[in-house]
Amino acid sequence: MALLPILEFPDSRLRTVATPVDPAEIADPAFQTLLDDMFETMYDAPGIGLAASQVDVHKRFMVIDVSEERDQPLVFINPEISARDGEQVYQEGCLSVPGIFADVTRADRITVEYLDRDGQARRLDADGVLAVCIQHEMDHLLGKLFVDYLSPLKREMVRKKLAKARRQAAA
């Protein structure tokens, strides 16, 4: 397994809309290795979700594990949210926007249909942190970041703060 580089805001590649995964690709050992590498990268970061778009692979899949023990890995291939209910405000962060957190309003409960790691069709009713994480990662697959929910002024402040942090890290 290998750690993958995570794209960071404002990298324009994060705005690429992901294309569906051909179900025939799922059994490919290279695809399965990529899933393993994404889990390793996510756990190392540390994070609870990682969309393929964040590692410069613009296909519709993501990995998630919201468990405290990091022992409940979930793979969502070609996910589609078929139902949303309720509303919650949750403070989100993102591996592509390091060190920044902001309140985002999302559906409280969702139903998502997807293919799992083995290519099997699944349907999951999710709420709480898992529902938020699924919606957050699915935004990445659409070329959207959580900072897009912020005002233009706050988004520009985030951009400047990250640029300053990069300059300091390079010095």
- pLDDT digits (tens), the chain, 171 positions: 799 999 999 999 999 999 999 999 999 999 999 999 999 999 999 999 999 999 999 999 999 999 999 999 999 999 999 999 999 999 999 999 999 999 999 999 999 999 999 999 999 999 999 999 999 999 999 999 999 999 999 889 988 998 898 898 888
Tell me which amino acid residue 145 is: L
Asked about 156 being catalytic, the answer comes back as no
CA distances, 138 to each of 16, 111, 160 (Å): 12, 13, 26
The alpha carbon dihedral of 30, 34, 35, 39 has a sign of positive
Whether 64 maps to a domain, the answer reads: yes
CATH of the domain at 127: 3.90.45.10
Provide the annotated binding site for Fe cation. 94, 136, 140
Comparing C-alpha atoms, which of 70, 39, 64, 52 is closest to residue 13?
Answer: 52
How many domains does one find in the chain? 1
Indicate the pTM of the whole model. 0.95
Q: Which domain holds residue 20?
A: 12-170
58, part of any domain:
yes
Report the alpha-carbon distance of residue 73 to residue 64 in Å, rounded. Answer: 6
Q: Which residue out of 68, 92, 137, 156 is catalytically annotated?
A: 137
Per-residue exposure over 57-71, b if at least 16 CB sit within 10 Å of its own CB, e if not? bbbbbbbbbbeeeee
* Residue 159 covered by a domain: yes
Task: Classify residue 5: in a domain, yes or no.
Answer: no
Is 117 contained in some domain? yes
Nearest to 18 by CA among 50, 64, 56, 53: 53
